Amino acid sequence: MVPPLPADAAAVLDRFAGTWDVTLTTRRPKPATETYTQTGTWVLGRRFVRGDSSGRARGAQELSMLGYHPPSRTYPLWVFTSDGFVAQLQRGEWDERSRTMAWKSGATDPIQFTSRCTFESESTLRCATQVKDGKGGLAIDQESVAQRRR
């Protein structure tokens, strides 16, 4: 039998559960702003929070899975989009003091990225993501603000 998630890890994941109204601002590659709904639901025996978007521009969809890896004490995140993009962010690190989850690629990873999500309050989540191109330039630069529905 697999032991349950540690209580502190489950509490971190639980912050991402719920229904969120998201405003996404893209600065690169092409400036744009869109609003959509993101729903985080506990799945697979309360071991993962599955994120599912709706109302995205041009009918785009996104699925994500956020979990906890006990040996490394990190929070891996998998992201799948309807346009075929797949990302695995393995080293999510939680900082309780700042209420921030941060993912950063390793030096030898094929894609160089940073992503940070900070809970500004129980109902406001601000995230920023940057992805570099093969020459070290900024290929993707996005920020989102999500408001939890009551």
pLDDT in tens, 14-31: 999 999 999 999 999 999
pLDDT, position 109? 77
pLDDT in tens, 28-76: 999 999 999 999 999 999 999 999 998 787 778 999 999 999 999 999 9
Structure-block tokens of residue 49: 């929070």
**End-to-end CA distance of the chain, in Å?**
36
Least confident of 46-50, 93-97, 109-113: 109-113
Domains and CATH numbers, the chain: 7-148 (2.40.128.20)
pLDDT in tens, 121-130: 999 999 999 9
Decide: pTM greater than 0.95.
Answer: no
Q: With bands split at pLDDT 50, 70 and 90, how would you rate the model's confidence at 1?
A: confident
- Count CA atoms within 13 Å of residue 104 on its CB side: 6
The owner of tokens 């996404």 is 24
pLDDT, position 75? 97
136 CA to centre of own chain: 23
**2 vs 50: CA distance, rounded Å:** 20
